[in-house]
Amino acid sequence: MQMLIMIKKQLKLLFRNRIAILATISVPLILTYLFSFSMNSSSTEKLYIADSDKSVYSKQLVDTLKQHKDITVVNTTEADIKKKVDDQEISLGLVINKNFGEDLLSGNTLDIKLLQNYENGDSAVLEQIISGDVSTFKKVVQDSKYISSELNSDNYKLSSQILGDIKNSSNISVADRSLNSGQKTQDEATLRLIGFLVMFIWFVVIQGFRTLIDEKENSTFNRLLSTPTKYSNYLLSKIIATYIFGALHIAAILIAGKYFLKVSIVDNLLSVSLIFAAYLLVLTSITSIIVLFIKKQQNFTVTSSIIITVTGLLGGSFFSMEIAPSYIQTISKFTPEAWAIQALKDVMFNNSALTLEVLPLSIFVGIGVLGLIVSSSLVNSKIKFKSV
């Protein structure tokens, strides 16, 4: 009961600094927006297509849409498009139903549909492109059918040749990415938010331990030792409160990212939560050791900022480790950010089972527990030295 009261008091102290709370929540979101949405405004738009017909003509239509240099075609399923539209990950998706080829040759209404949850500028552009290409494609195939009947040639080969000539004359580059079963595309905004979140959450942990520096600067450490409450229990309450404080920040940033930036980051909620929980444990334990060797707030701020910035840069918070030199990739394995980012990418984008993330989770929990033990031992040694 006493421990709960102390934890509650520590949380009240942490929540007093509302400006710091606002900053630690808003900064990762703002950076995600600046690095992803604003800087990539000229990037290609993804068009998700589900081809249920699988005919030579449906493939021709897909190839026609691929010709646009401002569109990246992603082949997937209708169910996946519906989910992405409902989750507001994408604004529009194209479904080519069965019998598309037969309807095309017979002159019937084409059995295609656009799945759309809301309309914005991107969806309007995509809809216009799809409508124009479908009309052109239909006319080409119908004309080819008439010409081939007169020349006794193959309709499909003739239409393919005409569409190919259109493609070559326009000199348009093609970009195509297909999804494997269970995978989802690694959108830039989600990757950015993951990187900034694992970096800036360390600043939240730092904020939780600042009162320990205040005790050293104000010389209140000896007075705390004279109270009936054991200092080890007091320190434990501060560690637990800092951990809860960090967990609430993570939840707030993830929720804000989903609703304000349309970032889907919580599909695998259990796996993501466990990874963040283990990651937060290791940050808390490392900070609990660092704070014991620093006596002034200024030194604590400078030291922690350097550590967080360097490990963030080397850990992949600002850029993907996949494009980094091999020696940087090797160094990154010694940063907690790199392990957290990779584990989160695996469960969110590759649909990796949590059992496959045993190594990073074990490392986080192992270092976290070891760090808390070391921190506790150092505090006990300091108390014994003071009592001598």
Domain ranges (residues) in the chain: 2-38+185-387, 45-174
pLDDT of 241 > 90? The answer is: yes
Cβ neighbour number for residue 38 with a 10 Å cutoff: 8
pLDDT digits (tens, 9 = 90+) for 28-55: 999 888 887 655 544 567 889 988 888 8
pLDDT attached to residue 173: 39
DSSP structure string for 234-261:
HHHHHHHHHHHHHHHHHHHHHHHHHHHS
**What angle, rounded to 10 degrees, do the helices at 231-260 and 358-387 form?**
150
Average pLDDT score over residue span 56-82? 83
Among the residue ranges 149-153, 224-228, 235-239, the one predicted with the least confidence is 149-153
pLDDT tier, 268 (very low <50, low <70, confident <90, very high otherwise): confident
pLDDT of 172 > 50? The answer is: no
Among the residue ranges 20-24, 177-181, 203-207, 233-237, the one predicted with the least confidence is 177-181
Structure tokens at 388: 């001598």
pLDDT attached to residue 259: 84
| Integer angstrom CA distances of residue 3 from 8, 13, 207, 284 | 9, 15, 21, 18
Cβ neighbour number for residue 104 with a 10 Å cutoff: 24
pTM of this structure: 0.64
Fold topology of 45-174: abc type-2 transporter like fold (3.40.1710)
pLDDT attached to residue 83: 87
pLDDT of 150 > 70? The answer is: no
CA 79/CA 55 separation, integer angstroms: 20
Q: 115 has which bridge partners? A: 93
Helix runs in the chain, H state only:
2-14, 18-32, 56-66, 78-86, 100-106, 121-151, 155-170, 188-208, 210-217, 221-225, 231-260, 269-290, 297-315, 326-332, 336-349, 358-387
CA 282/CA 277 separation, integer angstroms: 9
* Residues 95, 98, 103, 108, Cα dihedral to 10°: -60
pLDDT tier, 204 (very low <50, low <70, confident <90, very high otherwise): very high
